[in-house]
Structure 1
Amino acid sequence: MDGHNARLFNHDDDSSLNPEITTIANRYPESFLNHLRAAWEKDGAKAAQIPSVLTSLKATLVLCEDGVKRPLSTTYLPTRRLCAVVGKYIRRDDKFPFLQFQKFWSLEENIDAWAFLSFHLGVGNDEDLDLYLDILKTIRTERSLWHWSQKFPKRILSLYLHIETAYAGNDGNRKKIRDVFEEHKLVQSPKQHWKRPSDCALRAARISPWESGSFSVVSRMKILDHWQSALLKTGLLPLNPDWNTTEEERTIILRFFRTTLGIIESSAYLDLIHLLRLSPTFGSVAQLEDDPTTNYEIINDSLELLSDDEKTKLRSAFVVSPNIAMRCGNELRWYKQAECIWCTDLKSPVPGYVNLSGGYQGLEDFFVGFLGVKKLSASYENLLHCEPTSVSIGTVKEMLLTLSAVIAEKGRTLDPAPLLSKKILPVRGKDGKVRFCTSDSDFYIIDRPYLDVFRNTAPVLDFSVSDMTRLIPFLEWATLECHYLSWNVEESSFLQGSYPTPLDGRITTEKARGLLRIASHYRSPRTKSLEQRQLLLRQLEGSRFIETAGIFREVKLMLADGSEVVHQLEGQLHIVGENFGLRIYVPRDKTSQELSAVLLPRYLAQWLMTDPGNDMMPVIDEVTVSLVKSISNVRDELIQRVLTEEGVIPLEGLVHAFALTNHKPSKSIPVKLPKPVSADFEACPDPEAFKSETFSVPGLTKTESPSNYPSPANRPTLRPVSIRAKVSDNGPTLSETSRVKPPVEQQTPKPFKLPETFTFQLASH
């Protein structure tokens, strides 16, 4: 065949490929490449500008080294470099698409003359991604190579690793790899079967429904019909043992499977979720056509096919997405797990929740046991419909405790209003009889052990102190805290019947300044003016601790009928504020002193936030108490740093509102004020009723230091004042007055070291 007359175009048509090109390729395949090269030298420049001509040439079947004709664009130039790369994975005489050149043509010596094949016609000439994908395709399709692949199993692993590390770094290549693997089934399973990525999972179902005796025939058919794709997925883990991978290779190959090929971690739970989402009504309100129960029965029957990790992911899918279908009239709606409850005896709807028990009978184990849907006890419904005349008090109390446990465990999903309007609360009256009452009746709840003294003197909820702890979730859910006795009693402290003994201890100057900083930060009424701040600092620095055996507290409850119930109890601490300092009374008993050490920061915080000039006493914020505790447990040199770390404004930063200098105050710094509660200040009409000295708030009475008592004959007659304040929900507030019998003679301070557990470190003079 004469190559000198070779042309790519007809003489009369220079826009289409010369039919002789195709004829020569068919009749003389061995010499076609030479003819094509000669024709390209004449017409190639023009042909390169005509896409239709290039497309026809790329599709022309040409002879390859293995004797097979292939489209020109799918072949490779058999250069030494490419042959060496291919030879690592398959033999040269196997069916890789290298072009067949006549022997008298030396490809390497004339490589530039053949460059047009790669540049314009798609013939491979580079070590690139396409080369490695074609090597894989060759191994995949040629049965003659299977035996060799079993003899050298790691060559597949080597190909995967090279593709991942060299070419999977960008989205375009990853998509190309995934598409080619999907089209040509290039994933090799551990059993050396070839699969599409979509047919694989890292971990496949471990139990086949047709091998498991636990499945009924119906269940097997349902799974085969609805979950066939999941059961047919091939697991890739554990990896082929013949690969003998290193830890690094295992990491790379798993990344290749997961990220590049998009192979899912596990087929089962995703296919189960996909089963739900195949429904045309998924995720939207739709007319009810199919029964959704079947799908959940299939999922429930398939749970044993899942690993623990798969089960966790399946549960999460129901938590984050509305995958639970429920009939609502003639419609089908979709809900998340947290929007559902399970209560078989619930007759009234629960606002904001859907009850699944009526729609999925027989699937309680799945929805409650597996998915964790809240199961409500029937105690709510029973309480709602019970008649007090036909139910014993003990039964109702047990039902309330059961409901409280359900609320604590499952959450507060029920509406308390219908229940609280009924007479279901057992209340013990002053006469000792127990009656059922509604929540708005006049009764009290003994929320603290020491208030149990009111059990037989006021109407109280008839539960023991130990049972009251179990009842707290119910009380909070029903918003019955307003009935707590600690919210309704007034409490005062006083001294009586014992001689005080001064102790050799004090609050250090640094701790006093720290307390002043806390009081100023929280806008204590004691820090409104410069004089008050100076007085407060003087009081704190001049504090003295006094030991006595006569600390008492009085708790008073005003009943709805106007009567008053008063109980006197043993006290732990008593604080008296005077111009020259604080008097802090602690018990004489050493064990009680340890308890006082724990209570002292709270009592000091209470006293700091008390207004000395009116009848308002605040509810103490727990943050304030925590700050006082913080500075009581550190060395003096760390106090200011601790307060700074806690965000307490330094005294210098409070110059406009709380300055310790003579600067004029400007706008106050906005700080959240504690909520005040009322206090009852009442003057005692009979001074002779108390044979004691009275220590009171500055401005109300004047008194002397206990260490400088005047003799009884020279002691002035003072008008005693009793201050009683409502107890806060965190502990009793303390009176700033006391009633104490005067000592017969002046007491000499004795050395005293408080226990190491005492919250405040007391410094000796």
Structure 2
Amino acid sequence: MFKPLESDPPLIDKGDPERLSPVALRLAEEQPDEFVIYLRRVWDTNRRQLLDSAKLLHQLRQVKVSCHDQRLHPLSEAWVPTENIISIWSLLLLPEERFRFLILKDQKLKHVDHSSWNFLREIGCQYEAGDQFLTDLLLTIKKTWPTNVKDPGHVLGIYAYFLRRLNRTQPYPDGTYYKLLSDDKLWDNFNACELLLYKGEWIKPSSCFLRAPDYVRSKRVLTPAAGTDATPLETLAIRHFYQLVLCIPNFPDTWAAIIDELRGLQRSTGQTPIQQVTELYRALNELQLSEPERVTIRKLFLQHSLIAIEQGSVIAWQTHLTCIWSPLNKIRNLAELSRPYPYLKDFFVGLLKVEEATEKTVLSRMSYWTPEFEIRDLDLFSLLNGLIATSKISMKPDKLLTQRIFLGKWNGEKYRFVGSTEVFFIPDDEEFANTFMDKLPLLDITAEEIALLDPLFTWLGFKDRYLSKHVYRMCCSPPTAQKQKIEWDIVQRAEGILRIALHCGSPRTTTDVERGTLLNIMKKGEMLAVEGMQSEKVVLTRQKGSKCLGTGPNHKHGLTAPSTHPKLAIAVNEAGNALDRLVLHVSSDKEERDLALFTSLPRCLMKWLMADPKTQKWGIETLLGIRRRITIQHSHKDIGESACKAAGNPGQIQPTTTISCRPQQRKRITRDDTPSRTASVNLKGTRRTLVQ
């Protein structure tokens, strides 16, 4: 029995028997090498009080003391250098791999007498050989050699020593037995600390298979595939360690094991690598399965939603009902599988019966199109559009045109149109669509979607249903409106304009007579400022409910709406034909008139030049090839700013005015490119003239 010295401070606080004294704690902090010696002297005096107080004992176990690895460790994590422990340590570690043995009587490391240091066991210091001791040896090696481990063979020796847990009933020479951790605790230690050394790298056992097919890349394969020679280090003992101690599994090789593995990944709270899932699908696909087994697998995939889909950084698990095999294009609300799993078509389409994107898919889904399926209409049209664009379609447009499948709006409500028998428009111009949305039957589709589905609309024969082809701009004024002639330099410019008409191939310049007629018409031209002139948008249609716009020879019917388009028009007679002179109607308001002259006159004049004098129709190719460049003199800076604002262009305008006509690459028809017709109709005392 050891007795305390008179100079030894009290171990337990006199004022609080549930705490160590501040003086003892200061001794441990200032002289950690001496604290264990001090503790041995005062232990017997304080033993009963310490063992009876869990709080006090816990505090003592957390006190840090000096160890032979030249670090401080809590008493509960330090190892007592018993004879058995020392013998195992000296066998398994290299001299430079310092272990956390307590420093006792002196700095020399040797086994100690049980009786004199027995109190350390009561405190809770480590002293029994077993799983925890071997684990701490591995931690010591890893701390010493984070990379490039010296003599990896001694690490394998520790792994082989773990096999003693399989024969733990045999005692050590000192009478102690191999101390076990639970299988789960041992597995957790190896994973948390990455204590498996493989090809010079410290890794987790959970990132390994014992055996696996040669295509497996998601985990390390510790044993070479069947039919190959084992490496020299792959001894029987090490393989037993992998298999019997760490219980590292083989890659699953039955359909039931693969399903279990998938469900385990599904339940996992960690991040699941999609590569691992892909390998399981491939393994399942390569099995020789009977038809009953295939049916069972389909049911399990449906029941447990075992199809993995990456969504950002997470995995979503779905059934085959919410997936599709569609290499051509993605479909909203359906998970597309050909991109994440390009080589597994047989598995998804063949085994799991995932739907493949074909024209049959479109036709079959039309059979159950109901209001709750409306969100998927565009998906199916996008699919069909992709098939058409790649010439992978054999059915005729009539298959679709005769069905009520084209979702739109009519009279403010959702409505499905029949393509072959009902009138509706494709709202390719947002301004026109917003203007007439409550009065016209329109497809429920955005401008971006219209552009994407152009191959489909062409295939269906819907190109003439674009709303922009049916909307015209007109200018109107009261029949009694005052007209004032305004100076116009058309006479001086007539010959130059004629040359432009010739260069662009105007129908008015085919013969010498026609060229002379055109020149005379322009030289007699005049500009009239008209009081009360208004601009309108007009949709010409004979649909039910549309009103008559006039009593001319064509009896035009249609819908009208106010327009912000510049007020400018070339006058025509009551029959819609051109006059024998060029008469330009403009607003009587100077600001409106100047804006119209600088933004609309060149295009209006070019349309008039390119119109057939008999039919008043324009050739589309020629019209779309016209390039107009309008610039404004510095003296009209205020007009230029107004023109820019009207055109949506905030840029600065340079000082010249030109009209040029050159063939350009063909482009899509936009609102400003829409071909117009000349018409003049009377309605309740109002004269309407179509803007050119």
Normalised TM-score (structure 1): 0.34
Normalised TM-score (structure 2): 0.37
- Structure possessing the higher relative contact order (Cα contacts under 8 Å, 6 or more residues apart): 1
